[in-house]
Structure 1
């Protein structure tokens, strides 16, 4: 007589336990901040060598800081050769605060901006309030957070524009959320970006009526200058 119990599949609990005990593939392992930074540095070297243009660099750098696993990091440098001189040519300190993450807990220097038939600008070293409100009507404004510090770890930037435009510029490593409405206009950009866990978070919200609000990531001016100088130095050495 056949023992039917031997033909039964393993119980669900046994399968779950077996799956939990199975080793993860290397690509599924969690990446550390150091892993992300190593990839980011290789990308900086690649643009200095002329292997990437600025648009490719921005996209890959953003993806590097957003990566959670090794599998997400590997494709970012797969088509780049190993940097033989990376140790000999260590990157110089970043000028102009390039690569810095905004300091949290500073006293705000600005909580809002207003433009009517004109414009406003917030850029350079400044401190954004926990809630920053911007309004532009028949005008425009720029909110550049690349060198900014923050009153709080979570900042809300509220943008409202009528027949105007507001541009929000953020550095590659900043965590960003975008949630806004465009009525006969546009409100958008990089809708979601996860930076390093210790990075501040900025949420951009509001509405645009017959106008537009744009959010874009850009490398800091100091970093762009450093990359250009590094490329020129390598060309002279070659």
Structure 2
């Protein structure tokens, strides 16, 4: 009787970029629910993006309630919609720089209304790794002899409606009038007086990693 070939362990199968992104979304949701700290999230994300097999991903979600679904190795998994960015409580409602500089970046949650003021100073608002408390967010930007830079990732729709007086309110992001299904909408408004507000795109580190791998 002919011996049957050995069945490979599913945990030894190579993971794809979509598999890594799926697990990353699980971790972001767990952080928003208070199951993980920001430090724990960053540590686990490092392991996710360094993972080569499904077995490498197992320990990352083992102690989370969704671990069984996330560890369904060898089974097709639906890719969550970009709405994984929506949820949680706002961690900061303003950024003010008066003759100084400040920023909001990294992993943070944006409330429905966020105010940024720069008076003879500079403010940087980076939404690349941010979550949003609501599906629609308004950022009010006011610059007086100062500058405000707002970086928006590609999976967030932007509507800009600001004015400049002896200054500039510049928008280098040209989105459609209505948000794409499942994506957060960020409305940016305000005034630049003898200063500048600039809205532009920035790719996330994960998007850059995927492009390099491809």
> What band does the TM-score fall into relative to the shorter chain?
0.5 to 0.7
Pick one of 193, 199, 206 that aligns with 2:190: 206
Selected match of 2:164 from 182, 188, 195: 182
1:191 & 1:183 partners in 2: Cα distance?
22
* 2:124 paired residue among 112, 120, 142: 142
- Please give the root-mean-square deviation of Cα atoms over the aligned residues, in Å: 2.6
Aligned-pair CA distance for 1:101: 5.0
Structure (1/2) with the larger helix percentage: 1
- RCO (CA 8 Å, sep 6+): is it higher in 1 or 2? 1
Larger radius of gyration: 1
Q: For residues 203 and 82 of structure 2, what CA distance do their matches in structure 1 show?
A: 11
Q: Whole-Å Cα distance in 2 between the matches of residues 172 and 222 of structure 1?
A: 12
* Residues 88-107 of structure 1: pairs in structure 2 closer than 5 A: 90-91=16-17, 93-94=20-21, 101=83, 103-107=85-89
What is the TM-score with the length of structure 2 in the denominator?
Answer: 0.60
SS at match of 1:159: strand
CA distance in 2, matches of 1:208, 1:102: 33
Q: 1:98-137: per-residue Cα shift (whole Å, max 9, x none)?
A: 9955532311100111001111111111011110000001
- 1:30-74 deviation per Cα after TM superposition (whole angstroms, max 9, x unaligned): xxxxxxxxxxxxxxxxxxxxxxxxxxxxxxxxxxxxxxxxxxxxx
Q: 1:222 to 1:91 in 2, by over 3 A?
A: closer
5+ residue gaps in structure 1? 1-87, 232-238
Matched, 1:128 2:110: yes
Q: Structure 1 length normalisation: TM-score? A: 0.54
Distance in 1 separating the partners of 2:187 and 2:84:
15
Asked if 1:156 corresponds to 2:121, the answer is no
Unaligned 5+ segments in structure 2 are 1-13, 25-44, 50-80
Contact 2:154 2:201 in 1 (8 A): yes
Question: Corresponding residue for 1:227?
Answer: 211
